[in-house]
Every structure is written in C-alpha cells, then in structure tokens.
Amino acid sequence: MSRKLLIETQTLKFSPNSLNENVSKENGNLVVEGILATCEVKNGNGRYYARDLWEREMKKYTDLIKERRSLGELDHPESQVINLQNVSHLVTDYSWDGDNIMGKIEILPTPAGNILKELIKNGVTVGVSSRGMGSLEQRGDIMEVQDDFELLCWDFVSTPSNPGSFMGVLQEGKNTVTYDYTKVNSLIHEILCSKGSCPVF
C-alpha cells in the first residue's frame, strides 16, 4: 500500500456579531474553536479513522502546539510541506469530547490570516480540514485509514467534506450566514487591493 495525502474537512460556523468577544488575551488576534476531527465514524470522504490513531497523532501534535509550530494554511496545497507564505493560523489547544477532537485556533495577522479573518467577520462559512499522509484499505463501503497515518496540520478551506461538524467563534453557532462565491471573490479582491497589490480575478 502506498501512502498518499489525506484531507478531511469540518465546517466552521459562528455568529458574526460575536467576533469581538473572542480574541486572544495575549495579542488581540481572533480565536475560533470547535470540532477539528471526529473518529470512529465514516466521514464525508468515505474514510474511517480509528480513535487510537487520532490519540497517537494528537499526542505528537501536542509538542507542535507547545512550541507554537502548529501552523496551517488558507486552502489546501497538494503538498506535505507547510508553506510559510500561506500560513493563516495557529492551533493553540485541543481536547477530547467523546469521539470529537475539539480545537482552539488563533487567526494570525499574516496576509492569508487577514483574508481568513475578513471572510469570517463577513459571515462566510469556511471549513477546517486535516492534512496528513497515510494509506487506505477498503473494508466494505469504507476506506479505513491505516496505522501509517501521520497528521501534518489543519488548514482552512472553502469546501467541507463533513457538514455535520461545526467549528465557531462561539459555541452556540447561531445566525450562520453563507455567501456565494461572487461575494467571497469581491471581498478577497478588496482586501488585496487595499494592500496595494491588486490581482485580476
């Protein structure tokens, strides 16, 4: 079996009116929290992750969190490497709630982080997605992730594969607003043009 890049996504939902209430006490950055991953169920990609697999990977990931190296990107690259130019956030904490891995994520004041922050502030629904390397084995109607799985990071993306799980600024997750891609592109264009670099979409 060959290892390949495995990507799993959860939806991020929140109340846009509550964003100012959830900032880091250390540096004022926006902080979001919610489900990072769910184990012991077939996910939206038809994959199954055993709990012991996630427990092992989260133990290793704890060192990255402590060292403030638990970075992620805005959008998924097709790579095992985290590109520092595209970093948007930092996972600052996690805990278990049943079979859910709950996480806290600080949005960084980087170019990609500023785009992410503006999307969130404007009510755009984004997903948080795990990126890892591993192999799969077909078992009935599911693809079981094998013991060689290695978690790389969590990225923010536009298309969720697991719409049943939510992450948000406040736990209530009410008043979710979803915008179409035209508004998203317009917002990204506005942010980039305000910095003096105006790409064509």
Whether pTM > 0.95 for this model: the answer is no
Asked if residue 168 belongs to a domain, the reply is: yes
Span 121-153, pLDDT tens digits: 888 877 888 899 999 999 999 999 999 999 999
Model confidence pLDDT, tens digit, residues 58-99: 999 999 999 999 999 998 777 888 999 999 999 999 999 999
Domain count, the chain: 1
Distances (CA, A) of 14 to 33, 124, 168, 196: 9, 9, 4, 30
Coil, strand or helix at 68: coil
Residue 200: inside a domain, yes or no? no
- Is residue 100 in some structural domain? yes
Domain assignment of residue 201, yes or no: no
94 or 160: which leads in pLDDT? 94
Domain boundaries, position 178: 4-194
d(CA 94, CA 22): 17
